């Protein structure tokens, strides 16, 4: 490997970035450009242009090649890392400004360093340390996210390894100073340029893999979560409730089903508009999620009707939970002037299940209790009388 010409390795890195750029353009055209994908492609293009200026140094003025070539590479890698760190989420405006200021400072600092007459060894040291910092930022952005997955953490370790190698490259260049030759044939130089090639591969694979993972997560959420409120949809709720019923059958513990329906919800939509009605449902869902237990299941059963499955809950506890759910409505309207006053009616059913069919039976009984609450005047809780 070390006998491979250093210039050839650099040329392959340039070609790699170029072909990655072309493949990403083709991929994006077939799957659709999102904001980050477009920026990532721009990052690859900038790195390709920067690499071309270094490749054809001599055909283009040396000063222009060094200053503009390195500036484009610094900017391109920064855009690349930015996309890897923020994939799957919308960055804040202040975060975007911070990145711009940092990259502008890096480019200005390197340019001043070159114009001040810094030796090749010093410039390579600074460039390698900048790339090392970029890699560490990518690693931190992948590893320390609140939603970091196993894939992100593994990719973060690769970026840490790349950063470590860039530090070694920097330490190799520093003591040589003006005697450092960029394309000199040596083991350290070969490894240095191979590491740049590996960085190009890993960064692209990291972005594509994490992007694909985000898409898969969103597809799974779309299949299991209600599109408006973000809580379980009816199908997923029933599937999860059946699993909990199985556990309660083995443990011989009681379960409770709450059927919840808004009172006069059509009036809210007709009076204030559907956007306000949707906001009422969203705020109610968030408030209810905050007060139920972690082991409870909460789902949208249909329209303005919601359902809660509460394992290991006695009849006495049922009334307390139901009352707290009713209070969510008052809290929402009191804390938010855009939310009109509203109430809910609740029907509950509690029993110790013996078969899977008992879940369907509980839902029917809770639904009948809900209808009774409506007939009794609404804004109340009715418990089904189950022997």
* CATH number, domain containing residue 277: 3.30.70.270
Indicate if 374 and 239 belong to the same structural domain. Answer: yes
Residue owning tokens 């969510």: 328
Indicate if 215 and 241 belong to the same structural domain. Answer: no
Indicate if 205 and 349 belong to the same structural domain. Answer: no
* Cα distance between residue 137 and residue 129, in whole Å: 12
Range of the domain at 296: 234-383
Q: Per the domain annotation, does 1 fall within a domain? A: no
Q: Per the domain annotation, does 197 fall within a domain? A: yes
pLDDT at 56: 78
* Tens digit of each residue's pLDDT (9 = 90 or more) over 49-105: 888 887 777 788 989 989 998 999 899 999 999 999 888 777 667 778 888 999 999
Indicate if 190 and 242 belong to the same structural domain. Answer: no
Q: Per the domain annotation, does 336 fall within a domain? A: yes
Indicate if 305 and 347 belong to the same structural domain. Answer: yes
Give the number of domains in the chain: 2
Indicate if 101 and 14 belong to the same structural domain. Answer: yes
Indicate if 62 and 210 belong to the same structural domain. Answer: yes
pLDDT at 1: 41
- Which residue ranges in the chain fall short of pLDDT 70? 1-7, 9, 30-34, 91-92, 181-193, 387
Indicate if 19 and 168 belong to the same structural domain. Answer: yes
Indicate if 180 and 41 belong to the same structural domain. Answer: yes
* Cα distance between residue 386 and residue 352, in whole Å: 10
Domain end call among 202, 223, 244: 223
Q: Per the domain annotation, does 196 fall within a domain? A: yes
Indicate if 159 and 239 belong to the same structural domain. Answer: no
Task: Select which of 213, 304, 305, 360 is catalytic.
Answer: 304
Q: Per the domain annotation, does 228 fall within a domain? A: no
Q: Per the domain annotation, does 110 fall within a domain? A: yes
Active site residue 80: no
Indicate if 248 and 271 belong to the same structural domain. Answer: yes
Q: Which residues of 31-54 are buried (b: 16+ CB within 10 A; e: fewer)?
A: eeeeebbeebbbbbbbbbbbbbbb
* Cα distance between residue 212 and residue 100, in whole Å: 27
Indicate if 128 and 250 belong to the same structural domain. Answer: no
* Closest alpha carbon to 340 in 265, 290, 289, 287: 265
Model pTM score: 0.70
């Amino acid at each position: 490997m070390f006998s491979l010409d250093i210039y050839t390795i650099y040329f392959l890195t340039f070609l790699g970035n170029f072909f990655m750029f072309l493949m990403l353009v083709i991929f994006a055209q077939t799957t659709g450009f999102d904001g980050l994908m477009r920026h990532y492609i721009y990052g690859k293009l900038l790195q390709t242009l920067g690499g071309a200026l270094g490749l054809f140094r001599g055909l283009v003025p040396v000063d222009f090649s060094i200053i503009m070539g390195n500036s484009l590479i610094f900017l391109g890698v920064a855009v690349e890392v930015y996309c890897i760190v923020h994939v799957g989420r919308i960055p804040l405006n202040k975060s975007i400004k911070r990145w711009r200021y940092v990259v502008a400072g890096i480019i200005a600092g390197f340019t001043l360093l070159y114009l001040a007459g810094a030796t090749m060894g010093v410039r390579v040291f600074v460039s390698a340390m900048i790339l090392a910092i970029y890699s560490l930022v990518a690693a931190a952005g992948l590893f320390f996210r609140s939603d970091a997955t196993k894939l992100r953490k593994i990719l973060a370790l690769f970026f840490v390894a790349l950063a470590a190698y860039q530090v070694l490259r920097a330490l190799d260049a520093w003591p040589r100073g003006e005697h450092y030759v960029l394309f000199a044939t040596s083991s350290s130089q070969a490894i240095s340029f191979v590491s740049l090639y590996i960085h190009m591969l890993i960064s692209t694979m990291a972005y594509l893999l994490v992007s694909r993972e985000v898409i898969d997560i969103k597809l799974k959420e779309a299949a299991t979560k209600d599109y408006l409120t973000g809580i379980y949809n009816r199908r997923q709720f029933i599937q999860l409730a059946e699993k909990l019923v199985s556990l309660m059958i083995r443990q011989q513990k009681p379960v409770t089903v709450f059927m919840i329906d808004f009172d006069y919800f059509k009036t809210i939509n007709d009076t204030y508009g559907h956007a306000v009605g949707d906001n009422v449902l969203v705020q109610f869902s968030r408030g209810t999620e905050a007060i139920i237990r972690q082991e409870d299941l909460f789902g949208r059963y249909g329209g303005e009707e919601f359902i809660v499955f509460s394992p290991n809950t006695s009849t006495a506890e049922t009334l307390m939970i139901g009352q707290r759910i009713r209070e969510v409505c008052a809290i929402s309207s009191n804390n938010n002037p855009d939310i009109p006053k509203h109430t809910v009616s609740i029907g509950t059913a509690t029993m110790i299940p013996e078969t899977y069919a008992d879940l369907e039976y509980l839902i029917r009984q809770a639904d009948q209790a809900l209808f009774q609450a409506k007939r009794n005047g609404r804004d109340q809780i009715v418990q089904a009388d189950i022997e």
